[in-house]
Amino acid sequence: MSTTTTLPSEIKGEGAPLLVLHGFTGDRSTMSSISEPLNENYSVVSVDLPGHGNTAKDLEPYLFNFEDTLDALIEVMEFHDQQEFNVLGYSMGGRLALGLATKYPNRIKNTILIGATAGIADENQRIARRRSDDRLADEILEKGIEWFVEYWMDQPIFESQIRIDPEIFNASRRQRLKNDAQGLANSLKGSGTGSQPSLWRKLNEIASPTLILVGEEDPKFRSLAVRLNSGISKSEIVVVPESGHACHLENPVFTLEAIKAFLEEVMSW
């Protein structure tokens, strides 16, 4: 079932609702290693975030804003008749999941984060990152989607993905190439880490139990996971072995089992 809301989405399975949010350059299909097994026991809602997948290329500029994206995600869940739900997000999707948990604490029952951050706390650093994101967005428009995909997949944070099955890795590249250059540029400018408001001081407002997943070979985000854990009262960290930033792709079996165990535990309370 697809929505007629701003963001394309689909819902599969039966059980407690779970919203799944992909990372930058992805789409709803890129979380299938998580969403498909989970829809055996949960009503999994997968969505294309603004500027990605099948989202309209002519979206109003404000819809790429971080805060307005949160509102659009609530609209998607309401379309599917889900008032309270669990949320799982990877990377950019993890930042949005944290945004939902802080802005709509009464709507989020449980939160699962994969390679996530609460943003950049220092204002000057955030301004510098926003300028960097804006420059990269302009380069995407100038040089095109093929240049950007090669640039993006060559980032050090993705080096550990060499362990991924070549067919899956190549499929990931093909998926990224389907994105629209303008859409990705708008997403980067509107909801990039530099444009996102810092959520670090709001972590204590998160009432939902939270699972923080991070790859063993992702030192930057392991450090961020410790900070998240110290700020969210009902949280726990699980370090995923033999994986980097995208642990749901690099070690999907371990990641999925950790998610299942967490949900089974918190749903039984």
CATH of residue 23: 3.40.50.1820
Domain that holds residue 234: 9-121+197-267
Any domain includes 235: yes
Any domain includes 216: yes
User: For the segment 96-126, what is each residue's pLDDT rounded down to a tens digit?
Assistant: 999 999 999 999 999 999 999 999 999 999 9
22, with CB counted inside 10 A (0-12, 13-18, 19+), is: buried
Any domain includes 258: yes
- Among candidate residues 33, 10, 203, the one with its CA nearest the CA of residue 114: 33
Any domain includes 174: no
- How many domains, the chain? 1
User: Which of helix, strand or coil describes residue 160?
Assistant: helix
pLDDT > 90? residue 245: yes
Q: Yes or no: say if 93 and 70 are a contact pair by the CB < 8 Å rule.
A: no
Any domain includes 252: yes
Distance between CA 185 and CA 6 in Å, rounded?
Answer: 18
Q: Yes or no: say if 97 and 88 are a contact pair by the CB < 8 Å rule.
A: yes
User: For the segment 158-203, what is each residue's pLDDT rounded down to a tens digit?
Assistant: 888 888 888 888 888 999 999 999 999 999 999 999 999 999 999 9
What percent of the chain is predicted at pLDDT more than 90? 85
User: For the segment 127-158, what is each residue's pLDDT rounded down to a tens digit?
Assistant: 999 999 999 999 999 999 999 999 999 988 88
Any domain includes 27: yes
Q: How confident is the model at residue 5 (pLDDT cuts 50, 70, 90)?
A: low
pLDDT > 70? residue 2: no
Q: How many Cα atoms within 13 Å fall on the side-chain side of residue 221?
A: 29
Any domain includes 39: yes
Q: C-alpha angle 91/94/96, rounded to 5°? A: 120
Any domain includes 165: no
